[in-house]
A = this chain, B = another copy of it.
Amino acid sequence: MTDAPAARRGIPGATVARLPVYLRALGALAATGVDTVSSEELAEAAGVRSAKLRKDLSYLGSYGVRGVGYDVVRLREEIARELGLQHDWAVAIVGMGNLGHALAAYSGFATRGFRVAWLVDEDPAIIGRTIAGLTVISFDDLASEPPQGVIGVIATPPTAAQAVADRLVDMGVHSILNFAPCVLNVPDGVEVRKVDLATELQILAFHEQHTREEIDGIADLAPVVEEPKEATS
């Protein structure tokens, strides 16, 4: 009945999580002047299988040309649009410790659609200081400017994180990136993604240990006594 792109609704979560990777790869291609790319090439650049890439892109609509490939600029725009990156998003970082400080100065945000707009801390010794060109404000100051469509970043110690999340939610924030190693409880409709640095290392430790066991030989763990082998066959 309609020409509208097929599945606007219901893009699988796993696909959404990969769109930024494709976007980045397309940006790199565009920078080098490439204007058409096949699913095979783009998949290679993004570190995925081409079948997966094509399936992912098919959820956005039909932006490729059979026998030719994808127009780099066009596809990049479509993905950016799907992710809501036609305009920049404002970000509020709460917690100006080591990590918050580094995030405030991180250049990778600005180049990929985000503008760090507020730095927040509760420590009077830190409020008022200038970090990365911004003045650190208190939570009350933040609440006084209504942060519309802001993404909140929590970089406080875990003990403070839930209270911070509660205040952000009260202000109308419904997207939160949490660096504090703890579980946050938020109402329905609020999206929390978490980045836990120590957890990432612990997952690597698991693999490191198991690689190590293979190298050292499993014999150490469960000494194998070789049966005298029959000379048959």
Contact = CB atoms under 8 A, between A and B. Distances in A.
B17 A203 contact: yes
Contacts of A201: 89, 91, 109, 112-114, 151, 177
A71 to B, nearest CB: 21
A20 B83 contact: no
A203 B20 contact: yes
Contact of A197 (B101, B191, B195, B203): B195
A102 to B, nearest CB: 3
A2 to B, nearest CB: 8
A16 interface: yes
Interface in A83-101: 83-85, 89, 91, 98-99, 101
A176 B205 CA distance: 10
A126 interface: no
Counting chain B CB atoms within 10 Å of each CB, which of A16, A102, A182 scores highest? A102
A204 interface: yes
Q: How many copies does the complex hold?
A: 2
B195 A207 contact: no
Nearest to A47: B183
A76 interface: no
Given A46-B183, A84-B206, A114-B201, A98 B109 contact: no
Contacts of A232: none
Q: How large is the interface on A (under 10, 10 to 19, 20 to 34, 35 or more residues)?
A: 35 or more
A55 to B, nearest CB: 18
Given A177-B200, A195-B195, A199-B20, A206 B102 contact: no
A192 to B, nearest CB: 9
Contacts of A103: 102, 197
B102 A23 contact: no
Interface in A162-197: 174-177, 181-183, 189, 191, 193, 195-197
17 contacts: A20-B203, A24-B182, A24-B199, A82-B206, A101-B102, A102-B102, A109-B198, A109-B201, A113-B198, A113-B201, A114-B198, A149-B212, A151-B204, A175-B207, A177-B201, A189-B211, A195-B195
A-B complex: 8 closest residue pairs judged by Cβ atoms: A84-B209, A102-B102, A47-B183, A112-B198, A20-B199, A175-B204, A20-B202, A98-B102
